[in-house]
A and B are shown apart, each in its own frame.
Chain A
Amino acid sequence: MIAKRKTPREIFALGAEAVVEGALLAGCSFYGGYPITPSSEIMEAMAARLPKTENGVFIQMEDEIASMGTIIGASMAGRKAMTATSGPGFSLMQELIGYACMTEVPLVIVNVMRGGPSTGLPTSPAQGDVQQARWGTHGDHSIIVLSATDVQDCLQMTVTAFNYAEKYRTPVILLLDEITAHTREKITIPSPNDIEIFSRLQPTMPPEWYKPFEETVRGVPPMPPLGAGYRFHYTGLTHDDHGFPTSKPEEVESAVSRQFRKIDQFFFDIQIVDEHRAEDCEMLVVAFGSVARSAQLAVDQARELGIKAGLLNLKTLFPFPRGAVEKVIGNCKTILVPEMNMGQMSREVKRVNDGRCKVKTLNRIDGHIITPKQILDSLRKG
């Protein structure tokens, strides 16, 4: 088992393979999925690796709905579970993502975005699923959505995704783009001793005292695996703290608001951003995924030209890192949001900016990468 390795090691890997390394490091022992480009490499690597581990399970399901269903079941049975998909598959998963939010079942869904809508552009880069990741399922709910910039980051953010899922008893979505997932780079796989791994809290009280959806200080109740002696009811219906369906207004209100609060009150823990030359910038680029990589080069080139540019690379997309954006927009004249969609992230930036400075968009939806030059040109225009 890889977890036994004591020293870090270097490999030359695809972003997709780095996701698998990260998942295994984080303790993932269950993968259920259905192939779709450009995410299939994650599934294939899992198929090769998991059966070789002590209790790892890999199962190819009949569709993405079934994939989501199996990982929910596996997580209820105590496993750290994951699936990966792209556009159409992600759409199919939405009802069950809502179920996982409602039942507070931890799991990780990797979505390697492709162009859309519909079958769209299968192997071309896009970032069109930002708002679907946030609001794809029906109803009001909180959710955690992360992204990654490069291959090393794919590993790191997968570990983070599992940690958040377990810590907050929630599905976590890792949004990658095709460029990140299909780039091959040298990465370091850390020794398991060097990374922090979080596993869901287990109840310590006797079963008769246990309430599976109890209000706690952190808002996150402990979650035992099925079969451990804590018999309770999971349902997608709005439920009371014992898990039984309820429509009493006070119980509904408290159940739904706890589900929001358990994530929202930990903004400081969940919001990960990388700042690059942003301290004194007058022009701020807000980007994520492979676009942030182009933006970093563009910012450096702009600085050489005397333009005070900076970059905010969002690793957490939701809850939207409001604090981090607000902190830097103080000195800014312009914020530039380059993204491979028609403006799904710039909506969030505009909302937070609330008219304080100019927000410029740079959108590309032709299945091609946003180049450093495009971003630089836009920065030069001011």
Chain B
Amino acid sequence: MAEAEAVEAVGAARPSAWSGGPVAVPVRNRAVEGVRGYGLIVAMWVRSTMTYRTSFLLSTFGNAAITLLDFVAIWIMFSHVEALGGFTLPEIALLYGSSSASLGLADLLLGNTDRIGVRIRDGSLDTMLVRPVPVLAQVAADRFALRRVGRIGQGLAVLGWAVSELDVGWTAGRVLLLPVMVVAGAAIFGAVMVAGAAFQFVAGDAAEVQNSFTYGGNTMLQYPPTVFAKDLLRGVTFIVPLAFVNWLPALYVLGRPYPLELPGWVAFVSPLVAVLVFVPASLAWRAGLRSYRSTGS
């Protein structure tokens, strides 16, 4: 336990813990410290990205094009059928756009947490432990990729198209649900990313497991729940609550029945679900960080 506390203390070390000299270092709140450190690292990566401006523009466009070609594939499907799983193209576009925008947002802010496995392997995580910024903030900001705004833009564009095409009675609740769905969805994806990063402390370089929940989840959420088996739907509702990213709110917006026997108000609880999944995710992260033993290389 003493050893674990020592690691934690190093991880949480603030300038004030070392000072004692004549220079007065302001004591900041840990969360504020995290956000500030995150901002500084992000700014550094953005500056470095801009060194290769052509490459940046290409990759931003490429990022938008990923989601575009995904959607072209769905559009080609609809050149052969009227409906997929009972859903029309604009209805699927609503699912597609909201999930893409949520994942894009989570990916921009927290996506690089999946690099933790590489950092554990090559020992560079040790450097982060001695810096006066919370490790999670450093890992999340590591190689911050501004090009990911491409995916967010693409997702929001498809979402906008869906809203303009859909024939639903727009009540205040339905309109309100759209931004709530995108932001809370991003938070749920973000929690999954943090949990996945924590898992890599145990499993080693397993970034792809994390990706199959986030990118794989995103692919699944682009299609209507009627397409999938009931057991899978139970899994993504009650175990890894991806159904709250967009399925349940979107089904409410579309006025369609839920796939499982759930009460109507569940469409509105996504923000609460996001908070609830962040608790175990951050506990797992702390436990993972405490269990970390350097490779020594």
Q: Do A and B come from one complex?
A: no
Which A positions have Cβ atoms within 8 angstroms of B? none
